[in-house]
Structure 1
Amino acid sequence: MKLREEDLMDILVGATILGCGGGGSLEEGWKLIKRELKKGRKFRLVDVDDVPNDKIVASPYYVGSLGGNSKDNLAVKSFILLEEFIGEKFFGVVSTEMGGHNTAAALTTAAELGLPLIDADMAGRAVPELHHSVYYIRGYNMCPFSVVTAYEDKIIFSRTRDDLHAEKLVRSIVKVTGANVGVTSHPIRGKIFKRTIIRNAISLAMDIGKSVRKAKEEDKNWVLSLLELGGFLLFKGECVYMERREGSGFTIGEFELQVIEFYLKMRT
């Protein structure tokens, strides 16, 4: 399907909610989308089963902190770099995690390169480290993968000890350069991809975002609107304290929630 501007915003809002505070800033992600829309780029979403068994799909994203800058299209550059290393054009783009910024990175990489975004995700929510994915659970390594820094350093990791070590290596690059880096990883053939990936993740994000938008238009409680999509209300409360800081390539912090009312009955 062709994605309209309204669909794109719904996807990012839904991805931000699924990200549970991770996956980057919705505002920064929307800047990426708007930039591509102004250039007349087209956004396409295709089903997992549309991926040919013998073709490769891969995941472009940013690694760093919430405050990082991604204006230099580093995710796109890392995607192209990995294609060049493997010597094969990829069929499409896969989101690495749900979040306002990294879901946008997948969308805009696909749009800029004229590729489809696959209706899938590697985690189904935002995750703190690179090895937190369904591929890792199923025993598929993220190598080879590419990294491009804000200084135009271009790095290919053809092999690492394991994905946990790969996480440490990439995070070290972020720390040394002091900025987000673009990464493309998990070049996977369609046959393996279809039996591994989390399906319909982008559609779910779009449904969530649409539910929020409709509730706001009708001046309804958008949180309660999500219950119709299978969620449950655990408690009502407010955030009474929050601290956030940058450190070691992460955004680190803590927050405190004051519960006003518990809801013990959960949907099953």
Structure 2
Amino acid sequence: MSWTLTEEHLADLARGAALLGTGGGGDPHVGQLLVRQAIREHGPVLVLDPTEVADDALVIPTAQMGAPTVVFEKLPAGTEPVAALRALEYHLDRTADATMPIECGGINSMIPLLVGALTGLPVVDADGMGRAFPELQMETFSVYGVPGSPMAIAGEGGETVVIDTRADNARMEWLARGVTVRLGGVAHIAEYAMSGADVRRTAIPRTLSLALSVGRAIREARQANTDPVARLAEVLADTLYGHLRVLFRGKVVDVERRTEAGFARGRARVAAMGGATGQLELVFQNEHLVALVDGEVRCVVPDLVCVLDAEQAEPITTESLRYGQRVTVVGISTPELMRSPQALATFGPAAFGLPYAFRPVEELVPA
């Protein structure tokens, strides 16, 4: 069922998107500010359920790409994603009927909403990651046969580039990453143009609605002085993300972070407190990829590893991790669409060079 997104939804949506971003996807706060201003100037955004998109409709997802650490210092002008959309429409000689997120996490939950507010296009309530991933071929769209090319890239100075690698989505990512680095480490894109029928076949449905529900649940639990993590588990239990496990609680004691080749890469360590023993290690590439407790895997990509403030359950992004933070680290199961053999070949542990086999978080950490 379609619904109308207004300014009042944005804070909860941003909070939920930050959680689903698994530490990456870019800080949604900047995107929230852009969307709020666009809604004030142009009106609310229509969010379409995937079942309401016509089979032959042209849906063009829009997004930001680059290292989240760069966005802290290099804010977008706000015009780039529409410029990318228009460049791709011109190349295809066809006008989009809707836009859609490529990922529901972080700032990329917001970029299509900005495009929707500025252009009047509806936004489809679905995405191609069900979380955030660092590379463009790491999409359920790609896994299930939709080519990412042709894609358009736009920079803040009005530059646009069109890349067409046919069905080779990994090469598309490689070329687009090089362009993004030369645009200053961050750019905006339009890619994976597809039909409404392909949206229903390849996308993870209703993830914008999920982000909104998750963000609202955390806020309402805090207001009621109840445990927001427990409330979060209750909300997720009735969704495609059915299992939440608390992996560790403690204090951040070390963060090693570097920006290279268009990514934020690094590790963080969390030590137990209050007389407890043990240590958790996180490995990230924009997003958290694996959580190890005393050297043992407790949650690994594509399942979600999320770091939350210990008191408020506010999600903490990888670029915001700091020494001394008290945190709760949770693992969340991904939809089955993301656990198929072909999906794991695209964005499972081996795709990141990790020496671990995928096992579901609900098996690694029994309830």
TM-score by length of 1: 0.92
Tell me by how many angstroms 1:259 deviates: 4.0
Structure 2: 5+ residue stretches without partners? 238-243, 277-292, 294-329, 331-363
Report 1:90-239 matches (<5 A): 90-160=96-166, 162-229=168-235, 230=237, 231-239=244-252
Residues 1:160 and 1:257: Cα distance change in structure 2 (over 3 Å): farther
In the alignment, the residues of structure 2 paired with residue 224 and residue 241 of structure 1 have an alpha-carbon distance, to the nearest angstrom, of 27
1:88 alignment counterpart:
94
Residues 1:42 and 1:122: Cα distance change in structure 2 (over 3 Å): same
Per-residue CA deviations over 1:145-197 (Å, capped at 9, x if unaligned) read: 11112232211123346111111111111222224111100000112221111
Tell me by how many angstroms 1:95 deviates: 0.7
1:53 alignment counterpart:
55
The worse-fitting range, judged by mean Cα deviation, of 81-90 and 241-250 is: 241-250
Tell me by how many angstroms 1:50 deviates: 0.8
Tell me by how many angstroms 1:18 deviates: 0.8
Per-residue CA deviations over 1:17-47 (Å, capped at 9, x if unaligned) read: 0111011012212221222133143112110
Q: Secondary structure at the match of 1:232?
A: strand
TM-score by length of 2: 0.68
In the alignment, the residues of structure 1 paired with residue 165 and residue 234 of structure 2 have an alpha-carbon distance, to the nearest angstrom, of 45
Instruction: Select which of 232, 249, 257 maps to 2:270.
Output: 257
Residues 1:6 and 1:221: Cα distance change in structure 2 (over 3 Å): farther
8 A contact 2:60–2:191 mirrored in 1: yes
Q: How many percent identity over aligned positions? A: 27
In the alignment, the residues of structure 1 paired with residue 117 and residue 143 of structure 2 have an alpha-carbon distance, to the nearest angstrom, of 29
1:266 and 2:366 are equivalent in the alignment: yes
1:240 and 2:240 are equivalent in the alignment: no
The residue identity in structure 2 corresponding to 1:94 is M
8 A contact 2:9–2:212 mirrored in 1: yes
The residue identity in structure 1 corresponding to 2:90 is E
Q: Secondary structure at the match of 2:191?
A: strand
1:25 and 2:31 are equivalent in the alignment: no
Instruction: Select which of 14, 17, 28 maps to 2:16.
Output: 14
2:46 alignment counterpart:
44
In the alignment, the residues of structure 1 paired with residue 57 and residue 39 of structure 2 have an alpha-carbon distance, to the nearest angstrom, of 28
The worse-fitting range, judged by mean Cα deviation, of 132-141 and 63-72 is: 63-72
8 A contact 1:233–1:266 mirrored in 2: no
**Larger RCO (CA under 8 A, 6+ residues apart):** 1
The residue identity in structure 1 corresponding to 2:189 is V
1:35 alignment counterpart:
37
The residue identity in structure 1 corresponding to 2:168 is D
Tell me by how many angstroms 1:99 deviates: 2.2
1:4 alignment counterpart:
6
In the alignment, the residues of structure 1 paired with residue 144 and residue 221 of structure 2 have an alpha-carbon distance, to the nearest angstrom, of 38
In the alignment, the residues of structure 2 paired with residue 196 and residue 265 of structure 1 have an alpha-carbon distance, to the nearest angstrom, of 29
Alignment RMSD: 2.0
Residues 1:159 and 1:265: Cα distance change in structure 2 (over 3 Å): closer
Structure 1: 5+ residue stretches without partners? none
